[in-house]
Amino acid sequence: MLAAYLALFALTVIWGITFPLVQGALSYASPLVFLALRFGLASLLFPLLVWPRAFHLSREVVWKGVWLGVLLWGGYGLQTFGLAHTTAARSGFLTGTLVPLTPLFAWILFRAHIGWRAILAVALAFVGTAIMSGPQEGGLNLGDILTLFCAVSYALQINFVNRWASRENEVQLTWIQIAVTSLLCLSTLPLEGPRLVFSPYLIWAVAITAVFATVFGIWGQLRFQPRISSTAAAIIYAFEPVFAGLAAWVILGSVPTAVTLIGAGFIFIGMLLSSTAPAEIKPHVP
């Protein structure tokens, strides 16, 4: 179990430190164009790394992979569309609602038992996310609603990964999920008003995020996440904006604020507490 915590923590570090890279790439490509390139390249590279296991498919594995791909696109796509109508701070806060939504869905869908330590851990991580985001006051707008559905999509994806992924199908589910996400990004490009200017920076950004954040990131999620509870995984993933901020500090010289560090402290305490909580769903990976 410790190995799973460390592996998911490392993946979250990778996802976080790619944020400044992606931020720069968006000067040359609109968000969905970048995502289509990233996931498209990853879907081509991944079968080469695991040949021929990726093609050992069954109807059940294909169906599950497609569903996971739809949910993954829902997270990325709805967040992207939402940002066009709300602030980055509100988007960060509302995306962070995946932390409390994940155990809620685990209970609704799978009747998972949620102990008091897990509930407290979720509360601490959510408070930390709220502190870091500092959302402005005001009623919900279209962007907020889309971002809330983004959080729902991410929370469902986390739960179904825990329920479905195993050593026997992790390769196939990874490939199908990545491929479906890339196809959905391509099919929804007209909704965004696509923009693309080729540059060496964009090529490197696509390559790095495709290999490390997508191929190894998604594969690692399916391999290690089912060994711990979905609540613990969601709390670990809440560290992504923390590492994004630290990466921006190192790469761009953007010094993190005291508020960011306080919020990160709440999330860290929540993660430590969640590591001592009983598992919600009995791990099915040896």
Report yes or no on 283 lying in a domain.
Answer: no
Report yes or no on 156 lying in a domain.
Answer: yes
Report yes or no on 158 lying in a domain.
Answer: yes
Report yes or no on 127 lying in a domain.
Answer: yes
Report yes or no on 280 lying in a domain.
Answer: no
The per-residue pLDDT for range 259-277, each reduced to its tens digit, is: 777 877 888 888 777 666 5
Report yes or no on 120 lying in a domain.
Answer: yes
Spell out, as residue ranges, where the chain has pLDDT lower than 70. 88-89, 133-140, 252, 254-256, 274-286
pLDDT of amino acid 285 = 41
Domain count, the chain: 1
Report yes or no on 281 lying in a domain.
Answer: no
pLDDT of amino acid 72 = 97
Can you tell me whether residue 84 is helix, strand or coil? coil
Q: Residue 190, class by beta-carbon neighbours within 10 Å (0-12 exposed, 13-18 middle, 19+ buried)?
A: exposed
Q: Residue 108, class by beta-carbon neighbours within 10 Å (0-12 exposed, 13-18 middle, 19+ buried)?
A: exposed
Report yes or no on 284 lying in a domain.
Answer: no
What is the rounded distance in angstroms from the CA atom of residue 132 to the CA atom of residue 96?
10
Query: Nearest 10 degrees: CA dihedral of 102, 105, 110, 113?
Result: 60
pLDDT of amino acid 286 = 40
pLDDT of amino acid 275 = 64
Integer CA distances (angstroms), 200 to 28, 205, 224, in order: 10, 9, 34
Closest CA to 61 of 218, 158, 174: 174
The per-residue pLDDT for range 90-109, each reduced to its tens digit, is: 777 778 888 889 988 998 89
First and final C-alpha spacing in the chain: 10
Question: Domain range for residue 113?
Answer: 2-274
- The whole-model pTM stands at 0.86
